[in-house]
Structure 1
Amino acid sequence: MFGLAAAWWADADLTLVLIIFAIQIGFLLSAGWRAMLLAASLPGIDRPLPSSDLPRYTVLVALFDEAEVLPQLVERLSQIDYPEDRLEGFLILEVDDHETLSAAHDLCFPPWLSVLVAPAGQPRTKPRALNVGLAQARGELLTVYDAEDDPDPLQLREAAARFANDQEGDLWALQAPLRIRTPLRSDSPFLDRQFAIEYASLFEVTLPGLARLGLPFPMGGTSNHFRVDALRAVGGWDAHNVTEDADLGFRLWRAGGRLGVMSRPTYEPPPGGLEHWLPQRTRWLKGFMQTWGVHTRDVRGLGWRGGLSLTMTLGAAIAAAAVHALSLAWLIATLAIALAAGLVPETPLFAMTVLATGAIAASVNAAIGCRRASLPYTLGDLLSAPAYWSLLTLAFLHAVWRLVREPFAWDKTVHFADPTAEVAAASAPAGREAA
């Protein structure tokens, strides 16, 4: 930072040119990275043969202020297709969350599911609650779900089969695809659509590509499946990291583990309007910065492959969020000034190549991801994507401020119960199998 300030003081014009050139090179590298991951993910994900000897499985769900969605969650967890005598689950509630505790008391749980009250303590975060559950887990395998999740009933069986087929024993974690189920009626259709497309690109293209290349990746915050002994060996989740899932993927890699992906999805609703989307994305970017800072203290444990993956996933996400709005504003300003002056806008070949390459890579990945997730992808989605990307810059600025002022504060996403008719229509067996 001081070097950049000194260069700007010495020659501001040259420094600006070099910064713009560096950003353009970064966009090109990111486009090439996307193309490589798309190619690596093309063979698809095969479903393993079911295992007859099913291990004991633990299901953890950390909840806070979720009384409204708790009945829906219990109903969905009850549909898990796994032998009850080999299944245990804990709904981990905070000791002072009286409303959710009361709602849980009024519900009828399946025999394998129970409430676990986390003792008072700090930090008040999801990973701290999960560590409380991990201490009680008796399963050989463990999965994490969120309050709003609707997992495929056969997801645990697929994960058990994949772990059983791992001859080397170094497959320590699996990530199921997360698919956004957009509501039929929404006050934020633009954010809902772009959020669903973003998830489709990440979970249907990027993560499968990274897994096939044998690289570590930031895991999603839900529908992770672990070997319990490996999870305990690395100390569980970092209670102070607000994207504990992203951090854990790289910590498992450092310890000698390998990450994989699955085919059976978990469905989720989008966060909703800007008042819900922005705090969630702020927390994600703040956690990415935390994870980046932790793992770049000593990159030797990552190796060059792990370092590359860390840079091109978390590092690129942070950098892209920082410059998206500035890049779009620069492009619009250049065109507006030229048109106002009655001039033909300048179109430098290299800059246009960068713009076209980045747009093509992003749109192709999004289109392939949406196809795999059984989502439509239209020209309108493509053209409106830059506006969505620009909102990431707002979240980035907010994340930097929150990282400085409240580094461990958890910006919780508000969840609402799904309308019954929409859930029934979207959860029909034919729809699940088609996905």
Structure 2
Amino acid sequence: MTQLGVEKPTTTLSSELTAERLLSRGQSVGGAVAGAVIVALLTLSAFGIGPSLLRWGQLAVAAVTVIYVVVIVFKLAMVFRAGGAPTLRFEPEDLRAIPDSDLAVYSILVPLYREASVLPYLVDRLSALDYPADKVQILLLIEEDDTETRAALTTMELAAQFEVVIIPDSPPKTKPKACNVGLARATGEFCVIYDAEDRPEADQLRKAVLAFRLLPERVVCVQAELHYWNPWTNWLTRCFAAEYATNFSLSLRGLDRHRLAIPLGGTSNHFRTDALRELGGWDQFNVTEDADLGIRIARRGWDVRMMVSVTEEEANSRLGNWVRQRSRWIKGYIQTWLVHSRHPLRVWRELGTKRAVAMHLTLGFSTFTTLVNPIFWALFASYLITGPKYLEPLFPPLSLYAGLATMVLGNVLMCYCLMNGCMERGLHRAMRAMLTVPLYWGLMSVAAYKAVFQLLRPSKRHFWELTEHGLVSHEPA
């Protein structure tokens, strides 16, 4: 084991591509102008000039309904079109096409913070990877103030391929900052991110190397599938596992099939190291640096491909822990969407129409519907309690029928998609839980509002809410 001193992060990422600022100057001015125009129109309406306030309300309801329909149709299309995706699959005999002597040096970046309890298991899993030990560089990225994990390391005997890198105790204290430090020290032709609780398939590095050898140079990242090893802990983990199964086994494959920008998962994404450095590494201010990097890869004209190789993770089994993690993900999605909406025309030229529309539907509008859900649920509850007389004026027949169809049919179809994800991953016992999944979506809305409130507070904007691991030591039968 090699122990290195405190390392400073290095990045060449342009300030225009980071989430250090919530809004660019143009976004701030545009938002202020739009807000002023809306206030002015509503004020004029109050004095009887122009469309009435009721008419504006009807238009707002119609617009939100259209967004709902488009988002649901897009999600369904990605799931149902996943079957024809050219996902990379390798059989065991394929992996011996490259002799051990010809395998590339591989760097594994493992950002850790307060992970002393799972550290021994992590080291065992990484040591068991089916890859020549002299061609693996494993960088354990430890925060300078993490005395707990550092103390645990002193009691362990680590093999020569392990290197301990100390991350400086300075803002922002985020995973991508640690990864940038690791990237500066990486010596491998390829590199991958693993989290503390990850259980990658033993042959995953070999599969990634073979994939890169077969694919054109423009493919700079190969994303493995993430799944949970503890779906049966409770209702929350069942829903979480079904969501992950649907996302990685269906939705992302649909994006891959249509060559759309893929928002990467936070782990098990394998990179050509030189290309990653050319991209500027990760945005240290973005709390879903993975999704952001997927968009930047697409803007550069490069590609991400999906690979059939599973990394298992621990699903959150405690509600508070789940909300903290999900609010961070949603906050990062909003950050990513805002960053890549700063220059709409430039992004449109770089991505093309199809990819640009898909990016907005994946990041921005999907989050918008999560935020609006409670409002429409409240309106529906009010309708049931008080009858139609108060709400009927807001819902002309077309909006009313479209909204009802979206709520009923959309929910049914999304439940069906999750059931498909369960079947794809063999989670048949979880299918019954999908009948109650609207409650899970309600929890997502709670996390979404928490994310928005944190974004509005500068002190919490880049705050990395830690996910506690090791909550489940074994999986119930």
TM-score, length-normalised on structure 1?
0.89
**Residue 321 of structure 2: aligned partner:** 276
* Counterpart among 290, 298, 302 of residue 245 in structure 1: 290
Residue of structure 2 aligned with 1:258, choices 303, 306, 309 = 303
Q: Using a 3 Å threshold, how does the CA distance of structure 1 residues 46 and 298 change in structure 2: closer, same or farther?
A: same
Q: Which moved more, 1:277-286 or 1:37-46?
A: 37-46
- Residue 173 of structure 1: aligned partner: 221
Residue 227 of structure 1 is matched in structure 2 by 272
Alpha-carbon shift at residue 106 of structure 1 (Å): 1.2
Structure 1 residue 67 corresponds to structure 2 residue 116: yes
* Deviation at residue 128 of structure 1 after TM alignment: 0.5
1:416 aligns with 2:470: yes
Q: 1:55 aligns with which of 90, 104, 120?
A: 104
Deviation track 1:249-308 (CA, whole Å, cap 9, x = no partner) reads: 111111221011111111111123221111111111111111111101123233323311
1:63-142 equivalences under 5 Å are: 63-142=112-191
For 2:200, the equivalent position in structure 1 comes to 151
Aligned to 2:444, which of 375, 392, 397? 392
Give 1:80 shift: 1.1
Offset, 1:418: 4.2
SS at match of 1:263: strand
1:182·1:270 contact (CA, 8 Å) conserved in 2?
yes
8 Å Cα contact 1:328-1:390 kept in structure 2: no
Paired position in structure 1 for 2:409: 357
Q: Is the 8 A contact 2:200 2:310 kept in 1?
A: yes
In structure 1, what is the Cα distance between the partners aligned to 2:330 and 2:365? 11
Q: Which residue of 1 aligns with 2:36?
A: 2
Alpha-carbon distance in structure 2 between the residues aligned to 1:223 and 1:379: 27
Instruction: Give the gaps of 5 or more residues in structure 1.
Output: 426-435
Equivalent pairs: percent with the same residue? 36
Shift in CA distance, 351/320, structure 1 to aligned 2, threshold 3 Å:
closer
User: Alpha-carbon deviation of 1:108?
Assistant: 2.6
Q: How far has the Cα of 1:183 moved from its partner?
A: 5.8
Structure 2 residue aligned with 1:36: 77
CA offset digits 1:8-61 (Å, max 9, x no partner)? 442332222222212221221122212321232113634133240321111001
Flag the 1:285–1:7 CA change in 2: closer, same or farther, 3 A. farther
1:430 corresponds to: none
RMSD: 2.3
Gap change, CA 1:349 and 1:123, over 3 Å in 2: closer
Deviation at 1:378, TM superposition (A): 5.4
Q: How far, CA to CA, are the matches of 1:58 and 1:68 in structure 2?
A: 24
What is the rounded CA distance, in whole Å, between the counterparts of 1:201 and 1:158 in structure 2?
A: 22
Offset, 1:370: 1.5
From the superposition, tell whether residues 239 and 153 of structure 1 become closer, same or farther in structure 2 (CA, over 3 Å). same
Structure 1 residue identity aligned to 2:312: Y
Of residues 196-205 and 56-65 in structure 1, the stretch that sits farther from structure 2 once superposed is: 196-205
Distance 1:379 1:233, change over 3 A: closer
Matched, 1:370 2:422: yes
Any residues of structure 2 matched to 1:193-342 within 5 Å, and which? 193-299=238-344, 300=346, 301-338=350-387
- 2: CA distance between counterparts of 1:285 and 1:296? 16
In the superposition, the TM-score normalised over structure 2's length comes to 0.82
What CA distance in whole angstroms lies between the structure 2 residues aligned with 1:85 and 1:280?
Answer: 36
- Alpha carbons of structure 1 residues 152 and 6: separation in structure 2 relative to 1, 3 Å: farther
Q: Would the aligned equivalents of 2:107 and 2:138 in 1 still touch at CA under 8 Å?
A: yes
Distance 1:147 1:209 in 2: 29
Amino acid corresponding to residue 217 of structure 2 in structure 1: G
Tell me the residue number matched to 1:433.
Answer: none
**CA separation of 1:71 and 1:183: change in aligned 2, threshold 3 A:** farther
How many residue pairs get aligned? The number is 415
Match of 2:53 among 12, 32, 37: 12
**Partner Cα distance (2:430, 2:268) in 1:** 28
Residue 464 of structure 2 aligns with an amino acid whose one-letter code is W
Describe the superposition over 1:342-389 as per-residue Cα deviations: whole angstroms up to 9, x where unpaired.
Answer: xxxx99432332223312431232122222222126564233111111
Q: Is the 8 A contact 1:283 1:399 kept in 2?
A: yes
Distance in 2 of aligned mates of 1:256 and 1:144: 22
Report the Cα offset of residue 149 of structure 1.
0.9
Q: Residues of 2 paired with 1:165 and 1:269: CA distance?
A: 32
How far apart, in 1, do the equivalents of 2:358 and 2:402 lie?
26
User: Secondary structure of the residue that 1:172 maps to in structure 2?
Assistant: strand
* SS of residue matched to 2:266: coil
Is the radius of gyration larger for structure 1 or structure 2?
2
Relative to structure 2, which stretch is displaced further, 241-250 or 107-116?
107-116
Shift of 1:7: 4.2
Report the Cα distance in structure 2 between the residues aligned to 1:422 and 1:272, rounded to whole angstroms. 11
Equivalent-residue separation in structure 2 for 1:243 and 1:289 (angstroms) = 9
* Whole-Å separation in 2 of the counterparts to 1:102 and 1:2: 56
2:67 corresponds to 1:26 = yes
The farther-off stretch of 157-166 and 366-375 is: 366-375
Residues 69 and 417 in structure 1, CA contact (< 8 A), matched pair in contact too: no
AA aligned to 1:369 is G
Cα 1:377–1:212, aligned 2, differ >3 Å: closer, same or farther?
farther
In structure 2, the residue matched to 1:432 is none
AA at the equivalent of 2:82: S
Shift, 1:331, TM fit = 2.3
| TM-superposed deviation, 1:319 | 0.8
Deviation at residue 63 of structure 1 after TM alignment: 0.5
Separation of aligned partners in 1, 2:78 and 2:58: 30
